[in-house]
Structure 1
Amino acid sequence: MGGAGGRHKAAIRGDRHRLRRRRRPVPQLGALPASRALIPVVVLSGGAATTLRRLAATAYPDEGCGVLVGTVEDGSVSVVEVTSGRNLVGDRSRDRYELDPAAIVLAERRARGAGLDVVGFWHSHPDHPARPSPLDSERAWPDYAYLIVAVAAGVAVDLRAYSLPDSGGELTERGLRIDAAAPAA
Structure 2
Amino acid sequence: MDILSLITSTCLLVISIRGKTCIIFDISDSTVEPLLNGKRKEHFEAKRDNLYGKASLLQLITFSWLNPLFEVGVKKTIDRDEVPDVEFRDSANNLSDSFDENLKYVKEKDGTRNPSKAIYLFGRKKAAINAIFAVISARSSYVGPYLIADFGNFLNKKKFRGLQSGYFLALDFLVQKWLRH
Instruction: Please report the TM-score for the alignment, with normalisation by the length of structure 1.
Output: 0.20
Tell which structure's C-alpha radius of gyration is larger: 2
Higher fraction of helix: 2
Structure with the larger strand share: 1
Higher RCO structure (Cα 8 Å, ≥6 apart): 1
TM-score, scaled relative to structure 2? 0.21
